[in-house]
Structure 1
Amino acid sequence: MATTIKVNGVDRAVDVDDDTPLLWVLRDVLGMTGTKFGCGVALCGACTVHVDGIATRSCITPVDSIGASEITTIEAIGATAAGASIQKAWLDREVVQCGYCQSGQIMSASALIASNPHPTDADIDEAMSGNICRCGTYVRIREAIKQVAQSNGQGG
């Protein structure tokens, strides 16, 4: 079924079944491969995108549930203040190891910073708890988020 979704500020017409997961629309139909497939059941966080600024697992989000919502992917997160800050901190703290989970990690972290510029450790734990990193870069992820929080004037 033909539908229009707004991705990274651009209306995109897609012709897919209503129950097609957003992940596959982004990757297979629109060719936006920055969002990764991990587990397919919303447990690992690799597929995280923003839907109206909220970190959302795209692997279980049917495209017909999007409606007029704005989807932001890793390809455009650097255009937001929170996303640019997180990406810079990721580089400063050398967070990335293999990199596979990092788009989802960055999307979750930037949603956290956008909604809570001064997260506590508990806030960070809660926001990042659904993101798995097989390489174990959790300490550097936390440091990067704290760097952004401190640059926002205070930190947790």
Structure 2
Amino acid sequence: MSEQFVIHNLAFAEGKQRLEGRVPLQQLPRLAASLSRTDGEVRFVVQGGVNALRLPVLDISVETDVCQVCQRCLQPFTHAVSSQNRLVVVKTQEQVEEYDSDDEDAVLVEAAFDVLTWVEDEVLLNLSFAPRHEQCVDIAAAAGAVAEKEKPNPFAVLAKLKTRH
């Protein structure tokens, strides 16, 4: 974990600070385990501010291209990830439950909030469970069709017997 990506989330939000960064995919171990290749990087921006209720928030934007294995053809599949999310920073567990919604997640104040863990979570949440190309050559089906053409029909002998009688 790099110190430059650890923030005090409440002070960051209230100070309306901004953090931009890039992190290599191989430095995100949970994400790397889900990918077929780990070359490339994740670009992210974290911006502090307040929401409509005047609560401190952290907005995040992440972008990357990740390589997974297509579940149809088992070939590399590149998936573009572009995500935006918002966290409301609150002081008590009761406030977490109160302010956590579909639009905004709520987190407790942390003096050592790890931005890279949040970045990794955002990418993981946007990965496809069963990645597939829009259109791909189904190698197994194509190989089966070729093999079927080459295989002799076992009932061909019966067809000859039928024509004799």
Task: Give the TM bin, normalised by the shorter chain.
Answer: under 0.3
Determine which structure has more spread, i.e. the larger CA radius of gyration: 2
TM-score (norm 1): 0.23
Higher helix proportion = 1
